[in-house]
Structure 1
Amino acid sequence: MTRLRGATASFADVVCVSAVTAGELHYGVGATVDPVEQLHRRRRLELLLNTYDVLPFDSDAAESYGLLTNIVRQAGRNPRPRRMDLMIAATAVCHGLALATRNGSALHYLQRVLIVIDVD
């Protein structure tokens, strides 16, 4: 997630991490049985979480999640397979942030309420 600020802001000042994303990354640390790879993943995750603000999935995010799931349903799509992505997007919406994601094409129907930045 990114805060849209002036050109003088540092990268750490404009990037945030959703607590939902942090949870997915914690899962990824344990998803390998190789202890060396697990250590490398844990160190990268610790660096990330110590560098950027982690935004909680709170009651405001839950309200935004309800809005987003209804938008998805109205678009004729099932929101259930997209729960995690929608929770991350809801966190961005309730904080007024843009969402930087590698999954931007899957979130195109949210453009009315969310700026989605597709990254490679």
Structure 2
Amino acid sequence: MTEAVLLDTSAVIALPRPDELALDAPAAISSITLAELAAGVHGAARPRDRASRLVRLQRVEARMICLPFTPEAARMYGQLYAMVLDGGRQPRGRRMDLLIASVAAIHRIPLVTRNGPDFTDLAPLVKVIALPAQSATD
């Protein structure tokens, strides 16, 4: 079996159809990503957007394993937070990303993201697979 990967929120949102996911590895999300997607459903201004986001959320939940944010992940988050500080960067705007990365780190699985630069300074605890950033027209 191929090594599993953890998709962050940016990677999940970029999927054309989560129920037709074609990766070379089993895909998982964290409970933090699930929370961000759920917030996106309720934050949509138009009913049509809300419905579309709800369908996406349901497809993601049906297709992917959801790894919980645990006390072990909370402790790892502290380490990752310190690594960002040690790298001379501010973790404040990266908190959700670091929470997700901490789940990948404790499970020792790669993190797939469209926001590769947000995860700078986390090696060797987090292996990041950076997808191409989306263009403004995507």
With the shorter chain as reference, the TM-score category is 0.7 to 0.9
CA distance in 2 between partners of 1:60 and 1:94 (Å): 7
Q: Letter of the aligned partner of 2:51 in structure 1?
A: L
SS of equivalent to 1:76: coil
What does residue 3 of structure 1 align with? Answer: 4
C-alpha contact (below 8 Å) 2:84/2:120 kept by paired residues: no
Is residue 114 of structure 1 aligned with residue 122 of structure 2?
A: no
Identity %: 35
Aligned pairs (5 A) from 1:53-92? 53-92=65-104
The number of aligned residues is 114
| Higher helix content, 1 or 2 | 1
Query: RMSD of aligned C-alpha atoms?
Result: 1.8
CA distance in 2 between partners of 1:117 and 1:13 (Å): 12
Unmatched 5+ stretches in structure 1? 5-9
1:54-92 CA deviation, whole Å, 9 max, x = no partner?
A: 011111101110110111111111212211000000000
Give every structure 1 segment of 4 or more consecutive aligned residues whose post-TM-superposition deviation is greater than 2 Å: 10-13
Unmatched 5+ stretches in structure 2? 6-21, 133-138
CA distance in 2 between partners of 1:3 and 1:64 (Å): 19
Q: Letter of the aligned partner of 2:78 in structure 1?
A: G
Q: Letter of the aligned partner of 2:92 in structure 1?
A: R
What does residue 27 of structure 1 align with? Answer: 39
What does residue 93 of structure 1 align with? Answer: 105
Q: Letter of the aligned partner of 2:63 in structure 1?
A: T
CA distance in 1 between partners of 2:94 and 2:49 (Å): 28
Q: Letter of the aligned partner of 1:19 in structure 2?
A: S
CA distance in 1 between partners of 2:109 and 2:66 (Å): 13
Q: Letter of the aligned partner of 1:56 in structure 2?
A: P
SS of equivalent to 1:16: strand
CA apart distance, 1:111: 2.0
CA distance in 1 between partners of 2:100 and 2:40 (Å): 17
